[in-house]
């Protein structure tokens, strides 16, 4: 097989010709890109460092081209950089491009070729996604950082409780938010000495989380007035509302509010074939953290402290049907409806009426 030079071929190619298609396989340290002309013939391949300087030097001299790359850690900033250079950038959904993900001959160079050929034939084969803006990503990083502290605190709290139980003792009644060294005063001296550094670390993490809460609240009040619209729904706080806004970013990207449930992976998957229509679990596509927050909001709405509203009545009625995992199914369904409701409030700017549907049904009955 004739080997294509990865350097000389590109340097000798005439990039002034239009309609070039480029496949870019991103790696953590270095990336491969493949260039095809409008006839689908290979013009060259090259390895480039995955840095802003190297990417700019590699692609600024190429005329406007169609560039396909997969979603990944580096795809947000790379896609923005290439778009800024005037290229048409297609970000492929990595989980849906099976020609790459499930290939038996997986190689960075071959992956770049596959991306280029798919983008040249039909970009829709790549299931393209839209990355958020740099500002939205920066603001969302604040929320992600807080989530990292919460996960670390939860892991340490579980460790402390487990160690105490294995020693035949228990910590004083407390929740995660107020766990500190004082909670170990009733333990034996040797256990106190072992757990004290962990408890101090947990206390420090809680302080960091409180600081993030204040910064998130300030960010919402300063830059995102739409948060107040979403917080009309009891059970939706600043964290859920702001994460919802930043993750979706543009409410008009969805034709209908009902599409938001599918986008966030809260809709049951489908695998229908002929007369077979099996019942599937939810697809779990989209952003997993926002999906978790919406489920937590649904749990509050259906829980003992939830206020009376149409959403709560609907969810409880669904849970009453019983069956295996009836309550869990009701929570997921309520989370899906909550996402649709939040999008509707965001688009219309309407005031939220908790019992709007119940009142509409009651009026004809009275008449």
How do residues 237-262 score in pLDDT, each as one tens digit?
999 999 999 999 999 989 999 999 98
Query: How do residues 26-59 score in pLDDT, each as one tens digit?
Result: 999 999 999 999 888 999 999 999 999 999 999 9
Strands of the sheet with 21-25, listed across from one edge = 42-49, 30-36, 21-25, 66-70, 88-92
Whether 16 has a pLDDT exceeding 50, the answer reads: no
Whether 366 has a pLDDT exceeding 60, the answer reads: no
pLDDT at position 176 is 77
Q: Which residue is associated with the tokens 């809680």?
A: 206
Whether 280 has a pLDDT exceeding 80, the answer reads: no
**DSSP code of residue 93:** -
Whether 8 has a pLDDT exceeding 60, the answer reads: no
Q: Which residue has the higher pLDDT, 104 or 245?
A: 245
What percentage of residues in the chain have a pLDDT greater than 70? Answer: 87
Dihedral sign (CA 340, 255, 284, 239): negative
- Residues 289-294: what's their mean pLDDT? 95
pLDDT at position 322 is 72
Q: What would the two tokens of residue 271 be?
A: 């695998």
pLDDT at position 2 is 43
Whether this prediction's pTM lies above 0.85 is answered by no
Q: Which residues, in sequence order, are bridge partners of residue 276?
A: 273
pLDDT at position 336 is 94
- 327: Cβ contacts below 8 Å, ≥ 6 apart: 302, 319
Are residues 255 and 343 in contact, defined by beta-carbon separation less than 8 angstroms? Answer: no
Distance CA 113, CA 298 (A): 45
Are residues 82 and 33 in contact, defined by beta-carbon separation less than 8 angstroms? Answer: no
Q: Which helix (H) or strand (E) holds 235?
A: none
Distance CA 219, CA 143 (A): 11
Whether 9 has a pLDDT exceeding 70, the answer reads: no
Q: Which of 177-181, 296-300, 362-366 has the lowest mean pLDDT?
A: 362-366
Dihedral sign (CA 104, 109, 115, 117): negative
Relative to beta strand 21-25, strand 42-49 is unpaired
Q: How confident is the model at residue 277 (pLDDT cuts 50, 70, 90)?
A: low
Are residues 79 and 71 in contact, defined by beta-carbon separation less than 8 angstroms? Answer: no
Q: What would the two tokens of residue 210 be?
A: 């409180």
């Amino acid at each position: 097989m004739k080997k294509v030079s990865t350097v000389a071929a590109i340097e000798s190619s005439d990039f002034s010709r239009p309609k070039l298609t480029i496949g870019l396989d991103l790696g953590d340290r270095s990336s491969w890109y493949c260039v095809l002309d409008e006839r689908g013939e290979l013009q060259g391949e090259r390895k480039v460092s995955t840095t802003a300087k190297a990417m700019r030097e590699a692609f600024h001299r190429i005329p406007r081209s169609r560039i396909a790359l997969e979603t990944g850690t580096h795809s947000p900033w790379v896609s923005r950089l290439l778009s800024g250079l005037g290229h048409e950038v297609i970000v492929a959904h990595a989980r849906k491009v099976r020609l790459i993900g499930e290939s038996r001959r997986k190689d960075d160079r071959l992956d770049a070729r596959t991306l280029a050929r798919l983008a040249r034939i039909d970009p829709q084969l790549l299931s393209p996604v839209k990355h958020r803006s740099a500002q939205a990503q920066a603001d969302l990083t604040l929320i992600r950082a807080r989530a990292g502290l919460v996960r670390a605190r939860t892991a340490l709290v579980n460790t402390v409780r487990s160690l105490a139980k294995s020693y035949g003792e228990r910590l004083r009644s407390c929740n995660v938010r107020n766990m500190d060294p004082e909670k170990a005063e009733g333990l034996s001296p040797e256990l106190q000495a072992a757990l004290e550094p962990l408890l101090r670390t947990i206390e420090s993490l809680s302080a960091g989380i409180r600081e993030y809460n204040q910064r998130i609240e300030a960010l919402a009040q300063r830059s995102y007035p739409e948060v107040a619209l979403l917080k009309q729904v009891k059970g939706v706080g600043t964290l859920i509302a702001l994460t919802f806004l930043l993750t979706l970013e543009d409410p008009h990207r969805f034709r209908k509010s009902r599409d938001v449930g599918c986008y966030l992976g809260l809709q049951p998957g489908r695998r229908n074939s002929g007369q077979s229509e099996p019942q599937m679990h939810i697809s779990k596509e989209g952003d997993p953290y926002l999906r978790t927050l919406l489920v937590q909001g649904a749990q509050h709405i259906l829980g003992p402290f939830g206020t009376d509203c149409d959403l709560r009545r609907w969810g409880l009625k669904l849970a009453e049907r019983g069956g295996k995992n009836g309550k869990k199914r009701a929570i997921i369904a309520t989370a899906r409806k909550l996402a649709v409701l939040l999008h509707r409030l965001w688009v219309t700017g309407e005031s939220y009426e908790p019992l709007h549907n119940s009142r509409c049904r009651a009026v004809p009955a009275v008449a």
